[in-house]
Structure 1
Amino acid sequence: MKDITPVADGWELRVPDHGSVPAQVPGCVHTDLLAAGLIPDPYLDLNEAEVAWVGRADWTYRTVLGPLDGPGEAGHERADLVFDGLDTVAEIRLGDRVLGATRNMHRGYRFDVTGLLDGAGGTPLTVAFTSAYTEAERVRALLGDRPNAYPEPFPYLRKMACSFGWDWGPTLVTAGIWKPVRIERWSTARLAGVAPLVTVDGATGRVEARIDLERTPSGAARPLTVRLRVGGSVAEATAAPGTDHLTVSCEVPDARLWWPRGYGEQPLYACEVSLLDGDEQLDGWERRIGFRSVELDTSPDEGGSGFTLVVNGVRIFARGVNWIPEDVFPSRIGADTYRLRLEQAADAGVDLVRVWGGGIYESEHFYDACDELGLLVWQDFLFACAAYPEEKPLRGEVEAEARENVARLMPHASLVVWNGNNENLWGFRDWEWEEQLAGESWGEGYYLGLLPRVVAEVDPTRPYWAGSPWSGSWDHHPNDPEHGTAHSWEVWNREDYAAYQDSVPRFVAEFGWQAPAAYATMRRALSDDPLAPDSPGMLHHQKAGDGNGKLARGLAPHFPVPADFDGWHYLTQVNQARAVAAGVEHWRSHWPRCAGTVVWQLNDCWPVTSWSAIDGDGRFKPLYHELKRLYADRLLTVQERDGALALAVVNQSGQEWAGTAWLRRVDVDGAVLAEARVPFTAAARTVALLPVDPGLRPAPDGGRELLAADAGELRAYWFPVPDKDVAYPEPQWDLELAVRGDGADGTAPVVELTVTARTLLRDLLLQADRLDPAATADRGLITLLPGESATLTVRGWPDPTRKAAATALRTVNAAVIR
């Protein structure tokens, strides 16, 4: 059997003008320098700029490999040194021998070191990294300049693009051994590749495992057996002498289907491949797979051409979020972090996560969690917001990277679509690239040629889409909302969020609205005194072009200018939730014409003002709680349709929803001016539209009326005028605190805080982190009519008092009538 020895200990990093410091592998230069106290935390204040030199320097890692048992003792014919990931441009030496060079962060590397590790004193292993800037600028000089949305050279090498900075991320250009290293010792043959094609036909699951072998000279003439076990089913095939490629197929009767969350369960089957020489096992491979079918329906119809995911024959409205790397230093992201963040996504009603093309192919921990949680994965190939040269040395790297990662990720049931790039087809058409390129290559050959061919050859069980946005062909504009996928960024950049309601894209793969991080997050990361929207640290942690200007222009149609930082912070977070709600409610009400929304973005990689629902310290913005409402199976929303109001009863559950809607035209003081009860029935996975009687439409004059619609436990509001024109009363409420537990066990008590409205309370928010940085609340924005109550559960608040709670509560009322 193959023996594996991790190479994780004894590493050191040579630091210019400093000698050496201990190095963590996996890790990166920045994390090692941080641990040694040689650089400040780049996530704090303006420290990012102070450590910019790190990305421009060259670095060397070194360890000593001890001797291995010789062939006569252990029976191993071959020893390989395996790197799962090197970031990015490196030369590897063992003693005085150069083993090879690398230039791709997204690939693994294997070097034959047979007979090189038998010295009694050990053998030095060095990995010398050249600055990514140096290599990228060398390739740019060789191939010529290409247009780019950012002034950084990331398109010229295969590295995580966002380490060069983005409109939500810092510029921290990493280097290092970012994935595990090991020595593998083996004899006769090994499994060089396993690519399982998983399909289902009726009740029968089928796995067709495509196997690649590597043999030693002594194993070349030997017949070998490959055994495939899936659950309780077993199949075998013989690899004849000299054969290095074969296929073995296994059928699983009565296979249980894997479903997206909300549609069924997620049964997973152990899929094991064993390589045998007679009765001796030489090598093994194991993953978990799930049986399900997936299609992408892009057929033309009267409205253009759609983009609808179909899983196990069921058409799905995708309730999605975009995912960026959880940390600029990916080696710090562990299984627990992935699991927590993805559980939070699932708890918010998300059923699709798009892995964005400026990041990385994520760890197995990410995809394992998605498999278990029923989260569909849309996987971008790693190209974003730039023209990418197609010549050598890049083209061969792109193909090798694609083949390796398609094969690595294809066992995962959660993975349902491969996407060629992020915004590059759109950029070519709309961002003046075509003129600047003047015929030079820019990536089209990857997206429309190479990548679909790789997917068709390696993973034909899944659909491929050329880009996001993409209309399906050059016959239409790449970001045509009537065809394929669309990105809606004009609204955030130039318009009020009400403009989301001006169109119904077939699938909204990106849209979003900014808001600052939670107060405790900013206070931890920034020493600005006082903290202000334009204080030095706040501006440095706002990476979007004219980001604060867009936040201000987004507030202007709805609210008066905030009086202070606290008001600005609250209102910008309210506006983020309101903006995303305006889009999702509108587009969900148009199912099945619109078949999905993918909010930009779920997470952050550092403390920053951004489009995220969960900030860089893992705290929830109000948007996160709003997603729970927006992405629930059942949603109630009032929409303008053809000049009149309609109540959309959105039912994405698998059961019929029938009941009676109670609609009330209400005065801001709580008096009911008119009402109606309307029965409704919404079949499973459908939307029912109920016309609203014109007599129930609130009058805009004076800003004193609103519409409230109830169905079961759900409510929707509709206001005819912007908040700044609503005649809000001075907010008044009663507070009650109930404390569960006394903290005697060392944990903070659980506090139930009940708010009873004595007036209309619009978008009441408890900012729990202002009570204590560790405190959390289970609810976000709440609107209450007079006499209504809401209970919030607060955890992590060690010294609860009603007085403190009152200081952490804010309403739109107070922001408007101050």
Structure 2
Amino acid sequence: MKEAVQLTEGWSLDHDGNPLPARVPGCVHTDLLAAGLIPDPFLGLNESEVAWVGRRAWTYTRHVDPAETAAGHHERTDLVFDGLDTAAVITFGGHEIGRTRNMHRRHRFDVTGRSGLLRVAFGSAYDEAEAVRALTGERPNVYPEPFQYIRKMACSFGWDWGPTLVTAGMWRPVRLERWSTARLAEVRPLVTVRGGAGRVEVHIDVERTGRGADRRLEVSARVGGVQARGAVDGSRAVLTLDVPDPDLWWPRGYGEQPLYDLDVTLTDLGAGGRPLDSWSRRIGFRDVTLDRSADEHGTGFTFVVNGVPVFARGVNWIPDDVLPSRVTPGRYRTRLQQAADAGVDLVRIWGGGIYEDDAFYDICDELGLMVWQDFLFACAAYPEEQPLRGEVEAEARDNVVRLMPHPSLVLWNGNNENLWGFRDWDWERALAGDSWGGGYYLDLLPRVVAELDPTRAYTAGSPWSGSWDHHPNDPAHGTHHSWEVWNRRDYAEYRDSVPRFVAEFGWQAPPAVATLRRALPGERLGPESPGMLHHQKAEDGNGKLNRGIARHFPLPGNDFDRWHYLAQVVQARAVAAGIEHWRSHWPVCAGTVVWQLNDCWPVSSWSAVDGDGRLKPLYHELRRVYADRLLTLRPGADAPVLAVVNQSAEPWPVTVTLRRMRADGTMMAEEVLDLTVPARQVHRQTVPGGLAPDARSAEEYLVADAWGSPRPSGAGSGGGLRAVHFPLADKDFAYPAPQYDVVVETPVGGGSGEGSVEVVVTAHTLVRDLLLQADRLGPDAVCDSGLRTLLPGERARLRVRGAAETGANAVRAALFCVEPS
């Protein structure tokens, strides 16, 4: 049977002739940090202090004993690298055994009988990129870094949310594999469901040794109690397993996520059926199609899972650390569980990052998170000449085969924004006929997917209208990226269109205050303070933040705490405005994918979870607007429009109470609607006459509350759904000075963890967008609630755990709300 020996220990990194202990998996930056030779690049302005690391060559060495590579009772020993970052020359015992130039591939070398010094010499990624650029010629790019000339994580070179930390090293495991006769080189399970029956068609490629060339080999496969066997014809075999009536895998919110063990074994019949190699993965039975039918609205883009059309509640995912070897399975689980808890059912892995570790996809399988996987091309024209073209195809084949067993994987996407860039960003003129990546997205990649993984849909890019017959970012056709609103407009303008599928949109906000204090030690925080500006990578990012605030609130001058609160409020409101509007237009709009779930370091960005893992108010707002049942009020032509969204599998009997209110708390009119919204449908109606606030009045607003019928007696602001509509901007509305009482209680029987308390806020006036910034009570403190709007006399309970300070004065100081202008 094949044996594996992990090579995780015993490595050294050469630093100016001095050997440093090295961690594998890891990278140069993590090894230099561990040795105390560079400062933490995430703190202060240190990113600039370590820029030199990415421009140098680095060498890793390890002595390999003859016993480690000796075949022993095996014929062959392979040295396997699961990830080398990026341009490397590998020598073993003084002999070169290979060269690599792709971070996103696995590499395997025959080292049978070799021993001595194993040396992995990494050249500077900048030098490699410049050498390729010299061969292929210049190509346009949205950032001043050469990432399109090297098959490496593009955001290593910086992005509008990320630092420039150009890594090198063995970022995934290294091992020796010893084997005889033959091994399983590739296993591709094609899983389908038809008429309630499951089928697994297992395509197997075998590599043989010289001695094994003529051996009679057999493969067997087992899943769900069904087994199949077959002979290996040369180097290939195909086994088919029919599984009657399997339990279906569903996205979260639609059903369960049963997983089945698929086991494949290779045996040598000439040696009495001796097992040679084995392969095991978990698979799931589900049918996923992408409905791109044309209709009266344009061209659709709807995921259909097991026959059920799905409104995708998505988030975009970037690498969770710019030094990706630091991301553990536990960290993946934390972040993905946060996504699931927010109502997310789709995660798009963005094309400027990496194909994530197997643990990422395993967790998505378990949590019911559909995965949209970009091929790794983003925001640049990519040369199609050698040496890149061969690397691109090998990388695509490697990762399609590696990831296709996962039932969570529902879509392969060719690139991020490159088709759009070619058409709109003046690339076509600058290229003057040179290659730019179109041959990858429209030819090579769809051919690879069709050959290796025909069970899944492929789309050429995001955004993409489906053909050059329409603009690549046409909202009426296919996927759409909505960035004009953040860049130039007010978030209310999200409501001006109904795209078929919004694959990117978002709004920025700073991270939590505790994150800023850790990342900017000793700095007096301010929007324009040196560290804040350094940790703001977007072009005119603070200008856009300030303009977004100023459209709704007076800018708070030198009051950083107020500015910070308002920036986070506007982010949450902006994203909610888009999602509420687009969800209310299901099934014309079939999904939203918020930019972005996470961060790779502490930074002002579009994320819902900041670089230290703290939840922004946006996170809690996602939890509200991505819930199965949603209540919204939005402006209409003559009166506000009420939308009641039911994405659950059951009809929703609901009582909606509409109240026209004055700022002083007086109720001017009220009407109760008893509705039943069918499963997976939306009820829309104009608010009845007499309930619409006077658009010219600074003192009127509308409140909608929804309760499952019948409404419980004495129900206040908690336990139901609420939507509010203010016809004027906050700065023009006559808010009363907020008045509320704060009581801190220790839960009886319901608290867990040191410092667990309940904060009870009782409003005596209208209190708009009340927010408890729990991290001000201690860096580990977490609140279970985001923005809340209370009417006079209403009470809110906010549970806080992990707080270092729980006194009423400290809690009151951590509470913020909208104040009169």
In the alignment, the residues of structure 2 paired with residue 743 and residue 55 of structure 1 have an alpha-carbon distance, to the nearest angstrom, of 50
**Structure 1 position 786 matched with structure 2 position 781:** no
In the alignment, the residues of structure 2 paired with residue 32 and residue 286 of structure 1 have an alpha-carbon distance, to the nearest angstrom, of 33
In the alignment, the residues of structure 2 paired with residue 796 and residue 219 of structure 1 have an alpha-carbon distance, to the nearest angstrom, of 61
User: Where does residue 477 of structure 2 map in the other structure?
Assistant: 483
User: Where does residue 155 of structure 1 map in the other structure?
Assistant: 148
Tell me how far 1:735 sits from its aligned partner. 1.4
**Structure 1 position 347 matched with structure 2 position 351:** no
**Among candidates 116, 127, 130, match of residue 137 of structure 1:** 130
1:239-265 C-alpha deviation (Å, 9 max, x unpaired):
14xx10111111111201000000000
Tell me how far 1:740 sits from its aligned partner. 4.0
Secondary structure in 2 aligned to 1:194? strand
In the alignment, the residues of structure 2 paired with residue 265 and residue 104 of structure 1 have an alpha-carbon distance, to the nearest angstrom, of 38
User: Where does residue 579 of structure 1 map in the other structure?
Assistant: 574
After TM superposition, the runs of 4+ consecutive aligned structure 1 residues lying more than 6 A away are 741-745
In the alignment, the residues of structure 1 paired with residue 640 and residue 699 of structure 2 have an alpha-carbon distance, to the nearest angstrom, of 18
**Structure 1 position 5 matched with structure 2 position 8:** no
Contact 2:580 2:632 in 1 (8 A): yes
TM alignment of 1:31-110, pairs within 5 A: 31-68=30-67, 74-110=72-108
Shift of the 70–389 alpha-carbon distance from structure 1 to 2, 3 Å rule, reads closer
Tell me how far 1:219 sits from its aligned partner. 1.0
In the alignment, the residues of structure 1 paired with residue 786 and residue 640 of structure 2 have an alpha-carbon distance, to the nearest angstrom, of 27
**Structure 1 position 759 matched with structure 2 position 757:** no
User: Where does residue 651 of structure 1 map in the other structure?
Assistant: 646
Contact 2:82 2:107 in 1 (8 A): yes
User: Where does residue 714 of structure 2 map in the other structure?
Assistant: none
Tell me how far 1:621 sits from its aligned partner. 0.4
User: Where does residue 811 of structure 1 map in the other structure?
Assistant: 817
Q: Which amino acid aligns with 1:798?
A: A
**Structure 1 position 727 matched with structure 2 position 734:** yes
In the alignment, the residues of structure 2 paired with residue 293 and residue 790 of structure 1 have an alpha-carbon distance, to the nearest angstrom, of 43
TM-score, reference length from structure 1: 0.97
User: Where does residue 439 of structure 1 map in the other structure?
Assistant: 433
Aligned residues: CA RMSD: 1.4
Shift of the 742–54 alpha-carbon distance from structure 1 to 2, 3 Å rule, reads farther
Tell me how far 1:797 sits from its aligned partner. 1.1
**Structure 1 position 262 matched with structure 2 position 269:** no
User: Where does residue 297 of structure 2 map in the other structure?
Assistant: 303
Tell me how far 1:702 sits from its aligned partner. 3.9
Q: Which runs of 5+ in 1 are unaligned?
A: 118-122
**Among candidates 768, 772, 775, match of residue 769 of structure 1:** 775
User: Where does residue 736 of structure 1 map in the other structure?
Assistant: 743
In the alignment, the residues of structure 1 paired with residue 383 and residue 695 of structure 2 have an alpha-carbon distance, to the nearest angstrom, of 56
Contact 1:507 1:596 in 2 (8 A): yes
User: Where does residue 500 of structure 1 map in the other structure?
Assistant: 494
**Structure 1 position 190 matched with structure 2 position 183:** yes
**Structure 1 position 459 matched with structure 2 position 466:** no
**Structure 1 position 275 matched with structure 2 position 270:** no
Secondary structure in 1 aligned to 2:84? coil
Q: Percent identity?
A: 67
Secondary structure in 2 aligned to 1:218? coil
Shift of the 678–383 alpha-carbon distance from structure 1 to 2, 3 Å rule, reads same
In the alignment, the residues of structure 2 paired with residue 757 and residue 433 of structure 1 have an alpha-carbon distance, to the nearest angstrom, of 56
Tell me how far 1:20 sits from its aligned partner. 1.3
1:131-179 C-alpha deviation (Å, 9 max, x unpaired):
0000001111111100000000000010000000000000000000000
Contact 1:510 1:600 in 2 (8 A): yes
Further displaced range: 5-14 or 197-206: 197-206
User: Where does residue 692 of structure 1 map in the other structure?
Assistant: 687
Q: How many residues align?
A: 805
Q: Which amino acid aligns with 1:115?
A: G
In the alignment, the residues of structure 2 paired with residue 609 and residue 497 of structure 1 have an alpha-carbon distance, to the nearest angstrom, of 18
Tell me how far 1:528 sits from its aligned partner. 5.2
Secondary structure in 2 aligned to 1:196? strand
Tell me how far 1:94 sits from its aligned partner. 0.4
Tell me how far 1:550 sits from its aligned partner. 0.4
In the alignment, the residues of structure 1 paired with residue 107 and residue 224 of structure 2 have an alpha-carbon distance, to the nearest angstrom, of 32
Q: Which amino acid aligns with 1:85?
A: G
In the alignment, the residues of structure 1 paired with residue 758 and residue 550 of structure 2 have an alpha-carbon distance, to the nearest angstrom, of 35
Further displaced range: 271-280 or 571-580: 271-280
Further displaced range: 163-172 or 794-803: 794-803
Secondary structure in 2 aligned to 1:453? helix
User: Where does residue 712 of structure 2 map in the other structure?
Assistant: none
**Structure 1 position 802 matched with structure 2 position 808:** yes
Shift of the 543–757 alpha-carbon distance from structure 1 to 2, 3 Å rule, reads same
Tell me how far 1:561 sits from its aligned partner. 1.2
Q: Which amino acid aligns with 1:181?
A: V
Further displaced range: 732-741 or 686-695: 732-741
**Among candidates 211, 236, 256, match of residue 204 of structure 2:** 211
Contact 1:70 1:76 in 2 (8 A): no
Tell me how far 1:749 sits from its aligned partner. 2.7
In the alignment, the residues of structure 1 paired with residue 570 and residue 631 of structure 2 have an alpha-carbon distance, to the nearest angstrom, of 20
**Among candidates 599, 603, 612, match of residue 617 of structure 1:** 612
Contact 2:751 2:757 in 1 (8 A): no
**Structure 1 position 748 matched with structure 2 position 747:** no
Tell me how far 1:69 sits from its aligned partner. 7.0
Contact 1:743 1:749 in 2 (8 A): no
Tell me how far 1:661 sits from its aligned partner. 1.4
1:537-569 C-alpha deviation (Å, 9 max, x unpaired):
000000000000000111111000113111110
**Among candidates 246, 254, 260, match of residue 237 of structure 2:** 246
Tell me how far 1:342 sits from its aligned partner. 0.3
In the alignment, the residues of structure 2 paired with residue 413 and residue 11 of structure 1 have an alpha-carbon distance, to the nearest angstrom, of 37
Contact 1:742 1:749 in 2 (8 A): no
1:374-408 C-alpha deviation (Å, 9 max, x unpaired):
00000000000000000000000000000010000
1:176-224 C-alpha deviation (Å, 9 max, x unpaired):
0000000000000000000110011122211111101000111111111
In the alignment, the residues of structure 2 paired with residue 693 and residue 226 of structure 1 have an alpha-carbon distance, to the nearest angstrom, of 69
Q: Which amino acid aligns with 1:775?
A: A
TM-score, reference length from structure 2: 0.97
Contact 1:741 1:749 in 2 (8 A): no
User: Where does residue 665 of structure 2 map in the other structure?
Assistant: 670
**Structure 1 position 592 matched with structure 2 position 587:** yes
In the alignment, the residues of structure 1 paired with residue 750 and residue 691 of structure 2 have an alpha-carbon distance, to the nearest angstrom, of 51
1:633-678 C-alpha deviation (Å, 9 max, x unpaired):
0000012344332210000000001222111101112111011112
1:573-597 C-alpha deviation (Å, 9 max, x unpaired):
0000000011000000000000000
In the alignment, the residues of structure 2 paired with residue 116 and residue 200 of structure 1 have an alpha-carbon distance, to the nearest angstrom, of 48
Tell me how far 1:67 sits from its aligned partner. 1.6
Q: Which runs of 5+ in 2 are unaligned?
A: 708-719
